[in-house]
Amino acid sequence: MRIAIAQLNIHIGNFDSNTEKILNAVRSAREQGAELVCFSELATTGYPALDLLESPHFIQKSNELLERLKEASSGIGIVIGAPRINPELPGKNLYNSAFFFANGQQLGFADKALLPTYDVFDEYRYFEPGKKFNTIEFKGKRIALTICEDIWDLVNEDPIYTFHPMDELMKDKPDLAINISASPFSEGQHRNRKKVLKMNAERYKLPFFYINHVGAQTDLIFDGGSLVVGPSGEVQDEMPFFEECVRTYELDEIMKMDGISKLQSTDRIALMHDALVFGLRDFFVKLGFKKAIMGLSGGIDSALTAALTCRALGAKNVHGLIMPSEFSSKNSVRDAEKLVENLGMSSDILDIGDIYDLFTSKLDAFFGKTPFDVTEENIQARARGILLMAYSNKLGHVLLNTTNKSEMAVGYGTLYGDLCGSLSVIGDVYKTDVYKLSNYINREEEIIPRSTIVKPPSAELKPDQKDSDSLPDYDLLDPILKMMIEKKYSMEQIASEGYNSEVVQKVWQLVHRSEFKRYQTAPVLRVSDKAFGYGRRIPLVGKF
């Protein structure tokens, strides 16, 4: 049997476009001689469709797409993920299902049994877990059809489910397994997938065909990387990252092959770079936006954001505002102008000195002779935010936020100022990785000025200011933050790793006191296992 994998960039709720794209993939699979073509989890609707799944009209449109696919299945089998109405209430109204069509008929379906409710996943909000397990026979082969999480619990040292769906399906003695998935990108997820598929193949002695989404849905980025794994656990092929692709495999050859056939490059920083560019581009394309704007300070965060955005949208579609105050160094303005020149983007310089003076003079009547403090610093940041938002409103450019994850974690940013924006580009990138990404961008030629990279980081909101005046050095701060946020260590556990307990306590307090800021910031492109956003839910007024 010749089996095609179609990893496509599905646009949530764009049923006309999705239908055309899926039918084109069916035609492509036919041209490649495929007898069966497989699509990803919830491919008719896009993933995650969230509360759109509660709309009867939305489900109706998905069902209409399924009918089109059933009609298109003459001479070819089609596996595709879609919501399925639950006919056996009480229970949730829908199942997260995989449909199997061939020759104009529905041969069967599989309902997802293990519904993740952690991190960015909240599937039990919408779906009833599947309870019936049967293989589907096609072309003389019994196929174990599963959906994403249904094969993932093997890898957990502390399993969160009480059974393995594949154990149930093995009672039918399947010949192969197909898993349709919606597995979002994080910097180590490609390794996790291969581990999961290898463990399943070795356990069940079956070849596995794993189909993943590709494309970004606001903050979630799906990288593709669909896999074909032989029955002894060897990876036969890994499809491209961040690209749509239809590729066909001969089952008999997969059964006989031994060893790794083809793997994608997995350099961590390169993947992070590609994910951010891909996520940016899809955000603009899927929302119909064309042009972006951001503030350029001459610092490394805005420089990296500008470089990524130019790669995603093209330099002609990116504009920067350079907004110096009396505390901005001439070097910073020069660095920002050099960046603009290197990238080929456009920019304007808007000095905020007179605006800042006007604000402070108006407030003198209330503040009297109180000393300069964070209030005056924030006025500068908010003046810049007003100018950026005005430019965005008047000219239709989308404002991008340039705050990194380290700053966002400890609240080193101003609400309604430098935290403004429709999308946070590097809000899931720690400062130490900002430097690595900048050097990666400069690996062939200097794009981000070297002087921007080597100078001490500073908000330049008061004389001779440096980030290290308020925060531990980033080489110290970032490992502490990773243990807090990703690994969920306690203060005591972090200190036991050799970190000063007073520093750990300070960082802990900064992170938790800043939760209110993160509630009000832009969605963050997710590239780590634990990004700020709905995948990390911390009480706003909790005390812990």
Amino acid at 72: A
Tokens representing 78 are: 């089609």
Active site residue 245: no
Q: Is the pLDDT of residue 474 over 80?
A: yes
Do 374 and 381 meet the contact criterion of CB atoms below 8 Å apart? no
Percent of the chain whose pLDDT exceeds 70:
99
What pLDDT is stored for residue 259 in this prediction? 60
With the C-alpha atoms ordered 332, 338, 341, 343, is the resulting torsion angle positive or negative? negative
Q: DSSP secondary structure string, 264-333?
A: ----HHHHHHHHHHHHHHHHHHHHT---EEEE--SSHHHHHHHHHHHHHH-GGGEEEEE---TTS-HHHH
Q: Is the pLDDT of residue 309 over 90?
A: yes
Percent of the chain whose pLDDT exceeds 90:
90
What pLDDT is stored for residue 467 in this prediction? 82
Specify the residue for token string 């092959």: 257
Strand partners, 114: none
Active site residue 41: yes
Q: Residue 48, preceding bond cis, omega within 30 degrees?
A: yes
Q: How many CB atoms lie within 10 A of CB 453?
A: 17
Domains of the chain: 2-265 (3.60.110.10), 271-470 (3.40.50.620)
Buried b (16+ CB within 10 A) or exposed e, 119-136: bbbebeebbbbbeebebb
What pLDDT is stored for residue 484 in this prediction? 96
The tens digit of pLDDT for each residue in 239-285 reads 999 999 999 999 999 998 766 667 887 899 999 999 999 999 999 99
For the CA atoms of 332, 338, 340, 343, the dihedral, rounded to the nearest 10 degrees, stands at -130
The tens digit of pLDDT for each residue in 46-55 reads 999 999 999 9
What pLDDT is stored for residue 275 in this prediction? 98
Specify the residue for token string 């041209």: 31
pTM (2 d.p.): 0.95
Greatest CA separation found in the chain? 87
Calpha distance 144→166 (Å, rounded): 8
Which has more confidence, 330 or 269?
A: 269
Pairing of strands 318-322, 292-295: parallel
- Judged by DSSP in three states, 361 sits in helix
For the CA atoms of 61, 63, 64, 65, the dihedral, rounded to the nearest 10 degrees, stands at 90
* Marked catalytic residue, from 148, 310, 431, 517: 148
Strand partners, 238: 227
Tokens representing 228 are: 């074909």
Which has more confidence, 137 or 328?
A: 137
Tokens representing 534 are: 């709905």
Which has more confidence, 468 or 372?
A: 372
Calpha distance 110→192 (Å, rounded): 24
**Which residues, at least 6 apart from 215, have a Cβ–Cβ distance to it below 8 Å?**
8, 9, 10, 11, 222, 282
Amino acid at 92: K
Active site residue 112: yes
Strand partners, 446: none
Query: Region 381-401: what's the mean pLDDT?
Result: 97
* Marked catalytic residue, from 21, 38, 61, 112: 112
Specify the residue for token string 């903050």: 219
Query: Region 289-308: what's the mean pLDDT?
Result: 97
- What's the Cα-to-Cα distance from 37 to each of 4, 40, 320, rounded to whole Å? 4, 10, 45
The tens digit of pLDDT for each residue in 135-185 reads 999 999 999 999 999 999 877 777 788 889 999 999 999 999 999 999 999
Specify which of 256-265, 502-511, 533-542 reaches the highest per-range mean pLDDT.
502-511
- Judged by DSSP in three states, 396 sits in coil
Please give the DSSP secondary-structure letter assigned to residue 262.
-
Calpha distance 392→415 (Å, rounded): 18
What pLDDT is stored for residue 466 in this prediction? 84
